[in-house]
Amino acid sequence: MEELPNFEQNTLPQRIKETNPQFKYAPDYILSNENYKLSFSNNVLSFENVAEYKLWRNYFSFISKSIKIFFELGHIDYVERIGVRYASVLDKTQTASEVINDVPSINVEGYDQKFEHYRSNLKKDNINILLQIFDNAKAVKNGVNSSGVYIDIDASFTGKLDKNEGVFLNEVLKYVDKLHSVEKELFFSLMKPEYLSTLNPKY
């Protein structure tokens, strides 16, 4: 409570969660501060960066410390999915062709084509990635409006990690960090170098 003083409770009725599979991982409780949000229930523990991005080393430090506290309670027997998601509206951009190296298209003779939305599932080793790109997206965050190309990268590991392995917590954190690295590599490989240079990326 010292680090995450704000508390909310999800108002979704329990009977709906129990009878509807899509809400299996809906959190019951939310703790937050001005930078981060931690949500949890019996089936999920999730984190969100709610302010300006504080760089991965700071965010990962917060995630690691928080996960360790939950694991030390002794109630977690296994983990069946680990995911890291990056989603952002690239403000003041107009079309995906401005920022993406190769915009997917299907050439049909006699027709003009306008890109609107791309969705693809990618797989690398034991990592699954859901990639989505939209033109003309709008978002409001902390009272600030932005509009432009929307990039959504959801990287996940699906496979049971059991606490009997002895390195349970370290294994989970290793996957969190690895998913972030895979996601970052994909993002930078998608972007045109001239657009990337305008972002002044920090590592």
In whole angstroms, what is the distance from residue 147 CA to residue 140 CA?
9
Q: Residues with Cβ < 8 Å from 193, sequence gap 6 or more? A: none
Q: For residue 139, what pLDDT is reported?
A: 80
> What pLDDT score does 1 carry?
83
| First CA to last CA distance, the chain | 30
193: left (phi over 0), alpha (psi -120 to 50) or beta: alpha
Distances 71 to 80, 130, 148, 170, 203 between C-alpha atoms, Å: 15, 28, 40, 11, 29
d(Cα 5, Cα 75) in Å, to the nearest integer? 23
For residue 141, CA distances in Å to 49, 89, 198 come to 11, 10, 21
Q: Any bridge partners for residue 191, and if so which?
A: 100
What's residue 9's pLDDT?
93
Residue with tokens 């972002």: 199
pLDDT at 202: 57
| Alpha carbon distance 41, 62 (integer Å) | 19
Cα Rg of the chain (Å, integer): 19
Whole-number pLDDT of residue 85: 96
CA atoms within a 13 Å half-sphere pointing along the CA-CB vector of 42: 5
> Given this model, what pLDDT does residue 46 score?
96
Q: How many CA atoms lie within 13 A of 39 on its CB side?
A: 14
pLDDT the model gives residue 165:
67
Spatial contact of 153 and 186, defined as CB atoms under 8 Å apart: yes
Q: What's the whole-model pTM score? A: 0.88
* Spans of the chain below 70 pLDDT: 165-166, 201-203
Measured between alpha carbons, how far is 11 from 23 in angstroms, rounded to an integer?
12
